Amino acid sequence: MTSINPIVHGVRQPILPPAKTESKQKTSMTFQETLKTISSAPEALTISKHAEQRLNERGIHIHENEWNLIGQKLTEAKSKGVTDSLVVLKDAALIASAKNNTIITAMNREEASTRIFTNINGTILMDY
C-alpha cells in the first residue's frame, strides 16, 4: 500500500495561508487618506494675549466661521511662503504669523486706514 507523504524530494514544504490582497489595499488606502487629511487640515489658530486684549478693548467680534476661514487662508499663505501677514476683514484688520498660525494683534478698520504696516510679506483680503 502506498501512503501519502508530505515530504517531497526530502524537503518539507511549508503550508502558506492564502494572500490577503484586499486587506493590504484597504490599509494602504486608509494610510493615503489619512496622510491627505493631515496635510490638508489647517493647524489650530492661536490668538495671542495681546490680540485678545485688543479685540476686547476695541469691541471687535469675529464669528467662528470667519475664524475658521482665517485659519484656512493662513495655512494657504504659509504654503506659498508667507511668514507674516495682514488679514483685512470688513470691520477689522489683523496682523498674523502664518509661520506660527497666530493672530498677533487686531484693530478696527478706521485704525488700520491710518497705519503703515511693516514686516509683513503677505496680505489676505477677506472683505465680505
Is the distance from CB of 83 to CB of 98 less than 8 angstroms? yes
Does a structural domain hold residue 7? no
Q: Which residues contact 66 (CB under 8 A, 6 or more apart)?
A: 89, 126
Per the structure, how many domains does the chain have? 1
For range 98-115, the mean pLDDT: 93
Q: Which domain holds residue 75?
A: 44-125
Q: Give a yes or no: residue 111 inside a domain.
A: yes
Nearest-CA neighbor of 51 among 109, 6, 104? 104
Q: How far is CA 75 from CA 23, 34, 36, 124, in A?
A: 34, 18, 15, 11
Is the residue at 52 inside a domain?
Answer: yes
Whole-number average pLDDT of the chain: 81
Is 107 within the bounds of a domain?
Answer: yes
Q: Are 100 and 84 in contact (CB under 8 A)?
A: no
pLDDT at residue 9 greater than cutoff 80? no
> What is the pLDDT averaged over residues 40-45?
68
Domain membership of residue 20 (yes or no) is no
Residue 50 has pLDDT above 80, yes or no: yes
Report angle CA 103, 109, 110 to the nearest 5 degrees: 135
Say if 78 falls within a structural domain: yes
Looking at the domain assignment, is residue 50 inside a domain? yes
pLDDT of 87 > 90? The answer is: yes
Share of the chain above pLDDT 70, in %: 68
* Residues 56-78, mean pLDDT to the nearest whole number: 93
Q: For residue 42, is pLDDT > 60?
A: no
| Domain presence at residue 103 | yes
